[in-house]
Structure 1
Amino acid sequence: MAHSTAQNAVNLLRRLGRSGMVDEALAVFSELDPHKKNTYVRNVIIDLLLKSGRVDNALNVLDEMLLPGSEFRPNDITADIVFTKLLKINGSDWRVKENKIAGLVAKFGKHRVVPNPITLTQLISKLCRSRNIDLAWSVLDDLMTWNGLKDAAPCNALLTGLGKEMEFEKMNLLMRKMKDMNVQPNVITFSILINHMCKFRMIDDALEVFEKMKGEKEEAKAVAPDAITYNTLIDGLCKVGRQEEGLRLLGTMRSDGCKPNTVTYNCLIDGYCKAGTIETAHALYNEMVNEQVVPNVITLNTLVDGMCKHGRISSAVEFFMEMQQKGLKGNSVTYTVFINAFCKVNNIDKAIEFFDEMSKAGCFPDAIVYYPLIFGLAQAGRLDDATSVASRMKAAGFRLDLVCYNLLISEFCKKNKLDEANELLDEMEVVGIKPDIVTYNTLISYFSKMGNLELALKFMEKMTKEACLLPSVFTYGAVIHAYCLNNNTDEAMKLFKEMSATSKVPPNTVIYNILIDSLCKRNEVSSALALFDDMNVNGVKPNTTTYNAILKGLKEKKWMEKALEVMDRMVEQACNADYITMEILTEWLSSVGETAKLKRFTQGYKVSDFAA
C-alpha cells in the first residue's frame, strides 16, 4: 500500500464499503502512507464509517483533521458529510449528543469551514426543539464573531425557538447582531418576529416591526411583506378586537401589490363575527367572492358560528344551504355548531335532525357533538332519547365523561328511576370513572327528599370514608333535610352544630331555612327564633323563605309583637315579601284589626312603633 496513489486508495475503500467490509476498509486506511491520507481520502473513509454506524471511528479520523496545524484540514465536503449524517442519528442511536455536534461546529469554524445553510438550520432547529436555546445561540454567535454566517435561515430557526420561549429581548438582540454582521433578514425573518408578537398579543410591537420592514424602501435592505406577513398581522389585530385596523391593512396590502387570499378574508370575517358585526362579515364574504378569492370550509364555519352565536340561526341555516348548492360542503365542525346552537335554544328536534344529517354527509361526530345533545335531551325530560344518544356515543368508541354521568344520574333521580341511576353508577365503576362530590350530592339529595334517611347517610359515609371527599354545604343541607322529614329535628340540630363547630363549610341560608321551618312546624318557635338571631350573628342573610317560616310560626303562637319586629327587620334588610308572606300577614293582621300596619308594611315602612 505504500506506493498506492490516493485515488487507488479511494477506489478500494469505496469497493470495500459497498461490500459491507468496513473493518477491512478501516485497515486499508490505517496502512496508508500518512502523506496520502489527504482530505479527499479522509472524507471518503468518514463517509463510509458514518453510513455504517461506526460513529466513534469516524470521529477519531475527523479529530486528526480538526487539530490546529493539521496537514489535511476539513473542507466544505467534510462538513456536509459529517453534519448531514450526525443530524440523522436519533432515539436510542443518539450517541453523539447535541453538545458534541455544537462543539464540532466550533472546531470546523477554527478552520473557517461552516456547515451549509440547510444543515446548520437543521441543527439550530433541533437544538431549539430540545429547549437547548442557549447552545443554539452560542453556535450562531461564534460563527457571527468571525463573519462565518451569511444566510438568514439559521437565524430564522433560532428566532422561532426564542419566540416560543417568549425571549423577545433576545430576538431583538439577534436582529441587531444580524445587522452588524451584514446577515440580511428576509421576509421569513420578519414574519417570524411578527407572528410571535401577535401570538402573545404584542400587536403594537408587531406593527412597529412591520413598519421597520417596509420603512426602508429606498435602501437595498428593504424587505417587501408577503401575504403571510399581512395575514399574520391582520389576524393579530382581529384577535384583539382591532378589526377596523385589520380592514385598513387589507387596503394597504392591495396598494402594495400583494393579493389577499382566502386566509386574509377568513381572518377578517372571524374578527367581525366575534365582534358581533355580522353584516360586515357577510359583506367581506361577498367582496371575497367578487374578487374571485375562493371561500373554504373555514369561511363557511366562521360565518355560520358567528350567526348562530348572535341569535341568527335561521340565517345561518339559509347560508349553509346556499353554500352547499355552490358545492362547498360542511364538515364535522359545521354540524357541531348547528347542533350546539339548536340545543342552546331548546330546539332539540332540529339538533337531532342535523345530527342525523351529519352522518349521511359522511361527517363523523366526535364526543363534543354528543354531549350537547345528551344534555339538551336530558334537561328537556327526554331521558329515553338521551340514553339512546349516549348508547350511540359509546358504540362509536367514545365514553361518557363524569359531567355527563352526573347529569343523567340527576335526571333519572328526578324521574324516580333509581334502577337506571344505579346502572349508570355500576357502569362508571366498570369504565374507571370515580364518582365526585356532585355524584354523591345528587344521590344524597334524592334519598333525603324521598325521606330515606338510611340510604342518604350510607352514601354520605361512603363519600367521606371510601371516596375521601369532604361534604359540601349541599351535602349537609340534604342530610339535615332528611332528618327533618323524618321528624328527627334533634339529630338535624346535632349535625348543624357539628357543621358549625368543626366543618370548614359554614351553614348557609338554605340550611337555616330547613331547620327554622322544621322547628316552627314542631311548634318550637323559640328555638327557631334563636336560630334566626344566630343568622344575624354569623353574617348569614335571611331571605323571603326564612321570614315566611318565622312569620308562620309566630302566627300559630299568636305572638303579634314579635311578628311586628320581624316585619321591621324584613323592611330594614330590603327583603321583598312574596305572595306567601302576604297570605300569612293578610289573614292574621286582618283578623286582629291591624290592616293599617299591613298597608304600612307593604309601603316599606316600619310597623312595630306605629299607632293607627
Structure 2
Amino acid sequence: MPRKLLPKQVSTFIQTQTNIRLSIEAFLSSPAPHPIPTYRSLLQNLASHGELNQVDTVLSHMRQRHTDPSSHEPAYVSAMRGYSRGARLQDAVDVFERMPLYDCEPSVVSYNVIMNALVDHGYFDQAHKVYMRMVDKGIVADTCTYTVRIKAFCRTGRPHTALRLLRNMAEKGCAVSAVTYCTVVCGFYEMGFISDARQAFVEMLNWGLFPDLVDFNKVLHVICKKGDVFESLRLLAVVMKIGLQMNLFSYNLLILGLCKGNRLNEAVNLLENMHKGMTPDVTTYNTVINGLCKELRVNEAAKYLPKMFNSGCFPDSFTYNIIIDGYCKKGMVQDAFELLKDAVFRGFVPDNVTYGSLINGLCEEGDFKRAVEFLNKSQANGFTPDIFMYNALIKGLCRQGLVLQALEILHAMPDSGCTPDIRTYNIVINGLTQEMHISCS
C-alpha cells in the first residue's frame, strides 16, 4: 500500500480494513486530521482485536489534529464501549470524566454509555450517582437512559420498580420496546415472580410489541436455567401463536431446562426428534450427554459419540471429559481408558479434568499402584498435575491405610511444581490419626 494517501482514501481504508496493523499504519501515515467517523471506526477495530493499549494514542491524535472538540464525542463513546467490553472499566470512567477537560461536554449518549458500563460490571450505586449528576445538569433522559436504569433495577432484584419505570416511560412519551419489556420479564422470572412475569409479557403483547427470537431466547434462558420446564413450554406456546419460530439455540435452551428439571427422557426425545432441517450441534449433544452421565447412564451417553461423528458434529474436550468422568464414577475405569485412547487418536488432548477423573477412578477401585504409575507417566509426558489430583490420590491412599505412600507423594509435590494446601495436610493428618487408632486398638 502506498505510504501517502488522500485523507478520504485513508478514512475509507480504515473503516473497511480488518487487519488492525494495516489500519494503524494507514492512520499514522496521514498528517491531516481524519473525520470523526474514522477515529470511531479505528477505535472499534482496536477494541474488537483487544488492542486497547492503542486507544489513548488514537484519542491524543484526534485532540491534537481535530480542531473542534465539541465534535469528539462519538470517538469518546467508542473508546468507553471498547474499554468496558475489554473489562477495563476504570479506563472507560477516566475517558468519561476527562471529556469536559478537553472541552467536550458529555451528552445523554455518553451518560448512557458509562451508566450501562457500570451496570454491566455490577456498580449499581455508582451508575445511579452518574444518573443523578446527569439530572442535575439538566440533561433530559431518553429511552436508552430508562432502559439502562430498568436493567439495573432488575439486576438488583427490584423488577417491580423496573416495571413502574417502564410504564412511566410510556406516560412520558418515550418509545417503549420489546427489548425493555423482556428485560423486566427476565427480572421477574429471576426473582421467582412467575405471575408478574406472565402479566408483563401479556402487557407487552397488548401494546403491540412482539419480541424477536433473540429477545425471546433471553427470557427462555432465564426460565430454563431454573429448570422450570412447564413455564418454558407455556411461554413457547404463546410466542409460536404469534408466528415466532424456534431456532437451534431455543432447542438447546429447552433441552437444558428439561435436564435441569429432571426430565431427562424428554430431553433425549427432543434431541432425537428435532424438526426437519434442524441439526443438533455440540452444545445440544453435550447437554444431553452431561445429563445422562450425571444419572450414571454412561453407556447411553457414549452411544452419541458415533452419532456426532456421522452428523459431522465432532465431540469437544467437554464431551470426552464428561463421559470419561462418568465411566470412572460408575466404576468402569477400563472403559474410560479405552475411550481416552480412541479420543487421543482422534486428536483429543487430555487435560487436568481428564487426568483427575482417571486418577479418582483408579483410587475408588483401590488400584493405587496403577494410579501412581499413571500420575508418573503423565508427568513424564510433560503434564503438570494440579492440587486436586494430588489430593484425590493422597486421600485414596490414606483411606486404604497406605499413609507412608501418601507422605511420600506429599513430600514430592513441591518438586513437581505443586504446593500442598490445607486440605492436603488435613487429609494426611486424618490418615495418621486413623492409623494411630488402629495401632492402639
The one of 508, 525, 530 equivalent to 2:404 is 530
The one of 476, 495, 507 equivalent to 2:370 is 495
Matches within 5 A, 1:350-389: 350-389=231-270
The answer to whether 1:541 aligns with 2:421 is no
Map of 2:50 onto structure 1: none
Map of 1:348 onto structure 2: 229
Q: 1:540-579: per-residue Cα shift (whole Å, max 9, x none)? A: 627789959985x988xxx361x6xxxxxxxxxxxxxxxx
Q: 1:295-354: per-residue Cα shift (whole Å, max 9, x none)? A: 111221222233434454443332222222232223324432332222233322212222
The one of 110, 122, 129 equivalent to 2:16 is 129
CA–CA distance in structure 2, aligned partners of residues 293 and 415 of structure 1: 51
Map of 1:472 onto structure 2: 355
Name the amino acid aligned to 2:229. I
CA-CA distance at 1:533 after TM superposition:
4.4
SS of alignment partner, residue 472 of structure 1: helix
Map of 1:488 onto structure 2: none
- With over 3 angstroms needed to count, the CA separation of the structure-2 counterparts of 1:469 and 1:315, relative to structure 1, is same
CA-CA distance at 1:386 after TM superposition:
0.3
Q: 1:181-207: per-residue Cα shift (whole Å, max 9, x none)? A: xxx456xx2322331242224334334
CA-CA distance at 1:441 after TM superposition:
4.5
Give the RMSD, CA atoms, in angstroms: 3.9
Map of 2:382 onto structure 1: none
SS of alignment partner, residue 541 of structure 1: helix
Are the aligned partners of 2:293 and 2:326 in contact in 1 as well (CA < 8 Å)?
yes
Map of 1:203 onto structure 2: 93
Map of 1:239 onto structure 2: 117
Are the aligned partners of 1:480 and 1:511 in contact in 2 as well (CA < 8 Å)?
yes
CA–CA distance in structure 2, aligned partners of residues 167 and 536 of structure 1: 49
CA-CA distance at 1:472 after TM superposition:
0.9
Are the aligned partners of 2:151 and 2:184 in contact in 1 as well (CA < 8 Å)?
yes
Are the aligned partners of 1:273 and 1:306 in contact in 2 as well (CA < 8 Å)?
yes
- Larger mean CA deviation between 388-397 and 342-351 belongs to 388-397
Map of 1:62 onto structure 2: none
Name the amino acid aligned to 2:356. V
Q: 1:43-92: per-residue Cα shift (whole Å, max 9, x none)? A: xxxxxxxxxxxxxxxxxxxxxxxxxxxxxxxxxxxxxxxxxxxxxxxxxx
Name the amino acid aligned to 1:388. N
Matches within 5 A, 1:39-118: 102=5, 105=6
Map of 1:299 onto structure 2: 180
CA–CA distance in structure 2, aligned partners of residues 453 and 354 of structure 1: 43
SS of alignment partner, residue 293 of structure 1: coil
CA-CA distance at 1:172 after TM superposition:
3.4
Map of 1:337 onto structure 2: 218
CA-CA distance at 1:498 after TM superposition:
1.1
Map of 2:65 onto structure 1: 177
SS of alignment partner, residue 469 of structure 1: coil
SS of alignment partner, residue 245 of structure 2: coil
CA–CA distance in structure 2, aligned partners of residues 428 and 546 of structure 1: 47
CA–CA distance in structure 1, aligned partners of residues 391 and 226 of structure 2: 32
Are the aligned partners of 1:162 and 1:168 in contact in 2 as well (CA < 8 Å)?
no
CA–CA distance in structure 2, aligned partners of residues 276 and 311 of structure 1: 10
The one of 155, 179, 196 equivalent to 2:35 is 155
User: Taking every aligned residue pair, what percent have the same amino acid on both sides?
Assistant: 17
Are the aligned partners of 1:394 and 1:400 in contact in 2 as well (CA < 8 Å)?
no
Map of 1:426 onto structure 2: 306
CA–CA distance in structure 1, aligned partners of residues 407 and 8 of structure 2: 76
CA–CA distance in structure 2, aligned partners of residues 167 and 284 of structure 1: 36
CA–CA distance in structure 2, aligned partners of residues 549 and 376 of structure 1: 46
Map of 1:481 onto structure 2: 364
Q: 1:476-507: per-residue Cα shift (whole Å, max 9, x none)? A: 2224434x4xxxxxxx2331231343333364
Matched positions, count: 396
Structure 2: which 5+ residue stretches go unaligned? 47-53, 84-88, 380-384, 414-419
Matches within 5 A, 1:250-289: 250-251=134-135, 255=138, 260-278=141-159, 280-289=161-170
CA–CA distance in structure 2, aligned partners of residues 271 and 446 of structure 1: 40
Q: 1:497-549: per-residue Cα shift (whole Å, max 9, x none)? A: 313433333643434444555x4xxxxx5xx3434545654546277899599
Name the amino acid aligned to 2:162. A
Structure 1: which 5+ residue stretches go unaligned? 1-96, 106-119, 145-153, 216-224, 485-491, 520-524, 564-612
CA-CA distance at 1:379 after TM superposition:
3.9
Are the aligned partners of 2:151 and 2:183 in contact in 1 as well (CA < 8 Å)?
yes
TM-score for both structures, normalised by structure 2: 0.73
The one of 326, 331, 338 equivalent to 2:207 is 326
The one of 236, 248, 262 equivalent to 2:132 is 248
Name the amino acid aligned to 1:195. V
Are the aligned partners of 2:142 and 2:174 in contact in 1 as well (CA < 8 Å)?
yes
- With over 3 angstroms needed to count, the CA separation of the structure-2 counterparts of 1:442 and 1:214, relative to structure 1, is closer
Structure whose CA Rg is larger: 1
Name the amino acid aligned to 2:373. E
Map of 2:72 onto structure 1: 190
Map of 1:57 onto structure 2: none
Are the aligned partners of 1:194 and 1:233 in contact in 2 as well (CA < 8 Å)?
no
Are the aligned partners of 1:156 and 1:192 in contact in 2 as well (CA < 8 Å)?
yes
- With over 3 angstroms needed to count, the CA separation of the structure-2 counterparts of 1:366 and 1:191, relative to structure 1, is farther
CA–CA distance in structure 1, aligned partners of residues 157 and 101 of structure 2: 30
CA–CA distance in structure 1, aligned partners of residues 28 and 340 of structure 2: 59
Name the amino acid aligned to 1:473. G
Are the aligned partners of 1:272 and 1:278 in contact in 2 as well (CA < 8 Å)?
yes
- With over 3 angstroms needed to count, the CA separation of the structure-2 counterparts of 1:536 and 1:197, relative to structure 1, is closer
Q: 1:429-473: per-residue Cα shift (whole Å, max 9, x none)? A: 113444445444444455556555653442243344554533512
TM-score for both structures, normalised by structure 1: 0.55
CA-CA distance at 1:419 after TM superposition:
6.0
CA–CA distance in structure 1, aligned partners of residues 191 and 391 of structure 2: 37
CA–CA distance in structure 2, aligned partners of residues 350 and 550 of structure 1: 52
Map of 2:416 onto structure 1: none
- With over 3 angstroms needed to count, the CA separation of the structure-2 counterparts of 1:392 and 1:235, relative to structure 1, is farther
Are the aligned partners of 2:327 and 2:333 in contact in 1 as well (CA < 8 Å)?
yes
